[in-house]
Structure 1
Amino acid sequence: MSLTLLLAPGLAGAVAGAGGTSDKLLAQIQDTARRHLLRQAENAGLREPLFDVEVIRSAKPVPACGEPVQVEGIDTRTPSRMRFAAACRTDTPWRIEFVVRAHVSASVAVAVAALPAGKPYAAADLTLERRDVTATPDPVSDLERAVGMTGRRALRAGDVLRESLLAAPLLVRRGEAVSIVVRREQIEISVAGEAMEAGARDAQVRVRNVSTGNIIRARVVGPAMVEPVGTSLSTQSPE
């Protein structure tokens, strides 16, 4: 995936407060924070992320260091309040912690109109909009990823779609008539069954063979279609 780092206009050197921290060290901390945010955005698959980063100056003077100061993230889980440490590892070492506040925006999937829970999403149901996602866990930026999935809860128009709220649509429902299909080379056998559990694609569910009454474990392979897990249509005794 190609990812470009964008910075909010006029905020390339934003800092807050006053103190003894040099502008050079502040810029180093800010750059380290941006790289952390960029990695997080890339891992999350965010489209066109933009960061507004603010470093809070230390209230105490920063001692001189005879070698380049090392900056590392201590806690970067919450962009709105991250912690970084600047350290000098000379004969007179020192270590000072800094708070970094960031706002993150990206092009993410939002609901065009109200969408009920459990309804498979169509392409027309969703659109990409730039939103502040600083406090939004796992927003979805890939519309193709969401189309065909269902929502675990209802969405209002303009709600941001979240990865954890997506679910694969059920292809088999409990009590539904299904086809139990066995394929061997060029031969395909299909018998009638009844689903005893609901399942999405690739889920394993219990299915009753209507002709024998036997209960088998089967994998969902399509709408109202399953295939036995193993090679037999009657691997278990009837319940």
Structure 2
Amino acid sequence: MFGCLQILIMLLLPGVSDVTTAIAGFHGEPRATSPVSPSRIPRASDIVTGRAAISEVNPDRIMKVIQKHLESEWGRKVKTVHVTVVEPADPVMISGGAVELHIIPNPTEEGLGRRRFHVEAVANGKPRKTIQVVADIAAMIDAVVPARFLKADELIEMGDLKTVGMRVHQVNHPFITDHGEIVGKSASRPLPPDTPLRAAFVKLPLVIKKGDRVLIEARRGGLSIRAYGVTKSSGQVGQTVMVANLDSGRELRAKVVAPSLVEVEF
């Protein structure tokens, strides 16, 4: 009887070598299981460890790369650049590890407004993907404006000016952003407060006005002759004005050298 049972157990439970233990298991007692083959035990080397890392490049990161690129490209022409990424709207997945982004120059796309950019994703020194980007570009400047009403020909001082933030529609805008280009000059026309200043709105100051008494100096070689006269017109340094000699009444063409000083050639 036991022999038949042993044969039956071995047929039904292949791999069982200890029949006595197996039989004991039938009576509700703990029984030993057969050793698992070493080939069935998972090993650390069986786990895939070479899978490439995936980096997520979101639109905000793309925006910052484009913004930095444009601010570097435009230098002092604008103060700040605003970038709104339209496409892609969702993050872009890049394989190969940590990713660096670079802007590929595109001469056909310049200036402000809606533009296309080619952004290259590089991982471990190798280009992985070129991201096609559509973005809206805007720029702000600090425009120099009068702080008060300036009359025509009025000399402009530092306290007469201030700056205001202003959006521009082109990079090569005509507005002045440096106080140094204005101070010491005069208004070429009446200028209301908060008017963004352009180069045409100012001029070199008039150092001589019509009717001023001036010293006329004539030089030739080591010879110098001086006389007094009255100007017939106003002028800036370097300009030519008409001057009447007070002694002879003769009118001469003279170049303005400095306030109250003109020079004639003979």
> Is the TM-score greater than 0.5?
yes
Larger Rg: 2
TM-score for both structures, normalised by structure 1: 0.57
Unaligned runs of 5+ in 2: 1-56, 121-128
The CA deviation string for residues 167-201 of structure 1, in whole angstroms up to 9 with x for no partner, is 11112345655432246799753224454654211
Cα RMSD (Å): 4.5
Q: Which residue of 1 aligns with 2:149?
A: 114
Distance 1:77 1:197 in 2: 45
Aligned with residue 38 of structure 1, among 60, 72, 75: 75
Distance 1:109 1:153 in 2: 16
Which one scores higher on RCO, CA 8 angstroms, separation ≥ 6?
1
Corresponding position: 1:134 with 2:148: no
Pairwise CA distance, 1:129: 3.9
Distance 2:229 2:236 in 1: 17
Residue identity in the other structure for 1:102: A
Aligned length: 196
Pick the structure with more helix per residue.
2
Q: Which residue of 1 aligns with 2:105?
A: 72
Secondary structure of 2:207's counterpart equals: strand
Pairwise CA distance, 1:222: 1.7
Corresponding position: 1:156 with 2:192: yes
TM-score for both structures, normalised by structure 2: 0.53
Q: Which residue of 2 aligns with 1:45?
A: none
Distance 1:140 1:70 in 2: 28
Aligned-residue sequence identity (percent) comes to 20
The CA deviation string for residues 41-97 of structure 1, in whole angstroms up to 9 with x for no partner, is 4xxxxxxx3x251233347999x9x9975433645555xx26454277xxxx98957
Equivalences for 1:212-223 in 2 at 5 Å? 213=250, 215-216=252-253, 218-223=254-259
Does the 8 Å contact 2:147/2:160 carry over to 1?
yes
Distance 1:152 1:23 in 2: 46
Q: Which residue of 2 aligns with 1:6?
A: none
Residue identity in the other structure for 1:153: R
Unaligned runs of 5+ in 1: 1-19, 42-48, 234-239
Corresponding position: 1:180 with 2:212: no
Equivalences for 1:69-108 in 2 at 5 Å? 70-72=103-105, 74=107, 76-78=110-112, 81=113, 83=115, 85-86=117-118, 98-106=134-142, 108=143
**Structure 1 residues 199 and 99, CA, compared in 2 at 3 Å: closer, same or farther?**
farther
**4+ runs deviating over 6 angstroms:** 59-62, 184-187
Secondary structure of 2:105's counterpart equals: strand
Residue identity in the other structure for 2:168: T
Q: Which residue of 1 aligns with 2:183?
A: 147
Does the 8 Å contact 2:215/2:262 carry over to 1?
yes
**Structure 1 residues 170 and 71, CA, compared in 2 at 3 Å: closer, same or farther?**
same
**Structure 1 residues 145 and 59, CA, compared in 2 at 3 Å: closer, same or farther?**
closer
Secondary structure of 2:215's counterpart equals: strand
**Structure 1 residues 222 and 154, CA, compared in 2 at 3 Å: closer, same or farther?**
same
Corresponding position: 1:207 with 2:239: no
